[in-house]
Amino acid sequence: MVNIRYTTEHEWIRLEQSSGEIVGAGIVGITDYAQQQLGDIVFVELPTLGAVLSQGDEAAVIESVKAASELYSPVGGEVVAVNENLTEQPALVNTDPAGSGWFVKIRLSDTNELNGLMDEASYRAFVDDLD
């Protein structure tokens, strides 16, 4: 089962699981709604490997033709992987925001932080409300 949580800032975190238990790391990206809002993304600045972030810290900078914005970490933890492909192909965030357009993988320092995030259904309702 895929376990994805969402923030009100339109980030997602896909959690690794083993037998239904969260094992401590998650891949982070922005939602399709967010990439649509931003438009053509032309530059992404990623954090350094090993950086330790608190929940809500800046994890990446996203530049679209229209505006600059930041991806803020949905959870606190250590950056254990970054999607280097985005350096050469930032448009992956537009074409596949939920897949190959991921940004960073974070090892969670506190799984309780997930409680404040939305599940898929809540996020959909949240986005529907915005339109």
Partner 1 sequence: MHARARVRLSENQVSQKKPVNRSLKQTPLCSLHKTLGARMGTFAGFDMPINYPTGIIAEHRHCRTAASLFDVSHMSQFCIRGSNGLAEIAAALELMVPGDIQGLRLGQLRYTMLTNDQGGVIDDVIVARVANHFHLIGNASRSKTDKKILCDKLPASISVTQLDRALIALQGPKAEEVLVRHMPKLRTINFMYGNKFELAGAECWVSRSGYTGEDGFEISVPANQAVEVAELILDEEEVKPAGLGARDSLRLEAGLCLYGHDLNETITPIEAGLHWTISRRRRAQKNFPGAHKILHQLIEGPKQQRIGLQPAGNILVREGAKINDTNGNNIGTVTSGGFGPTIGGPIAVGYIAKEKIHMGACLKLRVRNKEIEAAMTSLPFVQHRYRK
Whichever of 72 and 126 has its CB closer to partner 1, that residue is 72
Beta-sheet pairing, 77-82 with 68-72: unpaired
**Tokens standing for residue 18:** 């083993």
Whichever of 1 and 54 has its CB closer to partner 1, that residue is 54
The Cα–Cα gap between 101 and 28 comes to 10
**Where does 1-131 have alpha helices with state H?**
32-38, 85-88, 92-95, 120-130
Question: Smallest distance from the beta carbon of 60 to partner 1, in angstroms?
Answer: 10
Do the beta carbons of residue 97 and residue 32 sit within 8 Å? yes
User: What is the per-residue binding string for partner 1 in 31-50, x denoting contact by CB under 8 A?
Assistant: ---x-xxxxx-xx-x-----
User: What is the per-residue binding string for partner 1 in 56-95, x denoting contact by CB under 8 A?
Assistant: --x--xxx-xxxxxxxx---------------------x-
Question: Smallest distance from the beta carbon of 38 to partner 1, in angstroms?
Answer: 7
Element (H, E) at 124: helix 120-130
Site residues (CB under 8 A) for partner 1? 9-11, 30, 34, 36-40, 42-43, 45, 58, 61-63, 65-72, 94, 130-131
